[in-house]
């Protein structure tokens, strides 16, 4: 098999796996934001500050007392709120808290957002399969000669 075709197939397969991971992240974040598992709690925001992000971006981070009695501390959530406001938050599988939003637009985003990485995963997987078939065809014609 030609080395270039094998490397291309491996690269496409790796991209497909990354796209599937991105799809899983969007699904779990959507489930948390829409509180589909029913584990949302209310938190009263006691502090608000702006955090610097990557590439000169900033976001507002709000914090409040942890709703869990086993881990009394402050939780941080990205939210454009004001101090003293009470919001509902849900915990994601990786430990962060997300503000709950069950509006129509949030439902649309939660349903449609995973489709983009799913489509990209399907496209890159198809390209990986195509490269594997081409590599086998090229290797098979080289042996026959």
Question: For residue 121, what are its two tokens?
Answer: 């995963």
Q: Which residues is 47 bridged to in the sheet?
A: 63
Q: How confident is the model at residue 44, as a pLDDT?
A: 75
Which strands sit side by side in the sheet containing 86-91, from one edge to the other? 41-44, 86-91, 97-99
Task: Indicate the Cα dihedral angle 70, 72, 74, 77, nearest 10°.
Answer: 20
Task: Indicate the Cα dihedral angle 133, 138, 141, 143, nearest 10°.
Answer: -110
Which strands sit side by side in the sheet containing 58-65, from one edge to the other? 47-52, 58-65, 74-78
Q: How confident is the model at residue 98, as a pLDDT?
A: 79
Q: Please list the pLDDT of the chain residue by residue as tens digits (145 residues).
A: 678 888 999 999 999 999 999 999 999 888 888 888 767 777 777 776 666 666 665 556 666 666 664 555 677 777 776 777 777 888 777 777 778 887 888 889 888 999 999 999 999 999 999 998 988 888 777 554 4
Q: How confident is the model at residue 57, as a pLDDT?
A: 59
Q: How confident is the model at residue 145, as a pLDDT?
A: 44
Q: Are 99 and 62 in contact (CB under 8 A)?
A: no
Q: How confident is the model at residue 142, as a pLDDT?
A: 59
Helices (H), 34-144: 104-112, 115-144
């Amino acid at each position: 098999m030609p080395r270039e075709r094998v490397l291309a197939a491996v690269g496409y397969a790796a991209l497909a796996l990354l796209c599937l991971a991105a799809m899983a992240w969007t699904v779990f974040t959507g489930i948390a934001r829409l509180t589909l598992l029913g584990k949302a709690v209310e938190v009263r925001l006691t502090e608000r500050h702006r955090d610097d992000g990557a590439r000169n971006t900033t976001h507002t981070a709000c914090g409040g007392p942890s709703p869990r009695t086993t881990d009394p501390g402050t939780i941080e959530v990205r939210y454009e709120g004001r101090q003293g406001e009470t919001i509902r938050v849900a915990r994601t599988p990786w430990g962060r808290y997300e503000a709950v939003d069950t509006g129509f637009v949030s439902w649309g985003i939660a349903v449609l957002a995973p489709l983009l990485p799913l489509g990209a995963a399907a496209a890159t997987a198809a390209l990986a399969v195509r490269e594997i078939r081409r590599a086998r065809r090229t290797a098979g014609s080289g042996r026959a000669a």
